[in-house]
Amino acid sequence: MPERRGRFTREKWIDIGIQVGALALAMVFTTIILLAAGAPPLAAYREILQGAFGSVTGFSNVLVAWVPLLLAASGVLVTFAAGLWNIGVEGQIVFGAVLTTWALRLLQDASLSPALIILVALLAGMVGGALWAGLAGVLKTFGGVNEIFGGLGLNYVAAALTLWLIFGPWKRPGIGSMSGTEPFPDRLALPTIAGLRLSPWSLGLGILAVIVVYILLERTYFGLKLKATGANTKAAFLLGVPTWQYGMLAFLVCGALAGLAGAVQVTAVYHRLIPSISSGYGYLGLMIGMLILYRAIWVAPVALFFAALNIGSIQLPIVLKLDSTLSGVLQGALVLFVILVEGARQRYLHRSRVRIGSS
């Protein structure tokens, strides 16, 4: 037992070392890019920190971005556990937002309490995300379409559908604008903290999602069977695990969480449907899932780091005349180096096992 505990501790510290080492390499890579562009790296990093944590408003905006990232990344981990690359999570956020908007438009004049209408709208968003993910699952399971290609295609369909609704059936009277649909009344928005954009309710939903997914993957038989399906589908099937059913369930759970992220964007952030309602959080959720090597315990801190980069980088064009996409360079480099370092580690372990086996 002590030996197993020691091995677990050793592996945990190795994982932390991989994360820290990858972050250092990503910082070096981004610094080289800044120097090549003639920009001051230290000033750029200082402005990112200042924009994210330098004021109550800035930090609350970080938490606003943190919520959909928590939901998207948590959902992605469920499909990753089943060995599925749910690239369509972006479209699932969008379709969740579409069904949330539909529910609010349908019920906004009904004689129901605002709390009930908001609850129905949130549930509609979850159903929308689950349906869109289920479609990707059906294409893979029964149509033989790889989930990567199916998901990417459905992302474009969801984006096109959103534009059609905004400029077509849900067009604002007398206005054809990229600003989105008609804003909903304040009573149909999730309550926010006075003077800030942050809703404690949406924050609670995001944190709850992380806890539920952690328990699901690490403390239940469902999570164990899901991981068995992802590790070796044929072996899991021979051991009695209904593999395709578990794959579909993984899609549905991920889609429901992604749809909830879209619902939060409508009810707590924009209060209407806009063309860029997902804000790229689906793709960022995928990056977070890869960065944390599919471990649910790391979702919250890494998602907070990504949210801080996104919000803090808004300062760059204002103060230093740099493009705010610098945060995307740092995020992408971070994921790339984590994958490279983990790949090198796995290769080293494989060679060590081969050497031990042959000796």
> Which whole number is the average pLDDT over 164-187?
86
> Which whole number is the average pLDDT over 14-42?
78
Angle (deg, nearest 10), helices 2-36 and 326-358: 140
> Which whole number is the average pLDDT over 342-346?
72
> Which whole number is the average pLDDT over 262-268?
97
CB 285 within 8 A of CB 76: yes
Flag whether pLDDT at 302 surpasses 60: yes
One-letter amino acid at 326 equals L
| pLDDT at position 344 | 73
Flag whether pLDDT at 349 surpasses 70: no
The structural domains of the chain, with segments of one domain joined by +, span 21-28+41-348
Flag whether pLDDT at 39 surpasses 50: yes
Fold entry, domain 21-28+41-348: ABC transporter involved in vitamin B12 uptake, BtuC (1.10.3470)
Q: Where are the beta strands (DSSP E) in 104-248?
A: none
Flag whether pLDDT at 154 surpasses 90: yes
Flag whether pLDDT at 335 surpasses 80: no
CA-closest candidate to residue 172, choices 240, 318, 272, 309: 272
CA-closest candidate to residue 14, choices 341, 239, 290: 341
| pLDDT at position 10 | 67
Phi-psi sector, 282: left (phi>0), alpha (psi -120 to 50), beta: alpha
| pLDDT at position 1 | 46
Could you give the C-alpha distances from 120 to 95, 255, 285, 327, in angstroms and in order? Answer: 15, 17, 25, 36
Average pLDDT, the chain: 88
Confidence (pTM): 0.89
| pLDDT at position 352 | 65
The residue ranking higher by pLDDT, 10 or 207, is 207
Tally helices (H) and strands (E) across the chain. 14, 0
CB 272 within 8 A of CB 181: yes
Which of 55-64, 201-210, 331-340 has the least mean pLDDT?
331-340
Phi-psi sector, 190: left (phi>0), alpha (psi -120 to 50), beta: beta
> Which whole number is the average pLDDT over 343-355?
70
CB 129 within 8 A of CB 281: no
Burial of residue 18 (number of CB atoms within 10 Å: 0-12, 13-18, 19+): middle
**Residue where the block lists tokens 């991920």:** 254
Report percent pLDDT > 70 for the chain: 91
Top mean pLDDT of 142-146, 168-172, 253-257 is at: 253-257
- pLDDT tens-digit profile of 238-257? 888 999 999 999 999 999 99
| pLDDT at position 228 | 93
CA distance 12 to 61: 32
- The C-alpha angle 36, 39, 43, rounded to 5 degrees, equals 135
**Residue 239 in 3-state DSSP?**
coil
CA-closest candidate to residue 326, choices 316, 335, 318: 316
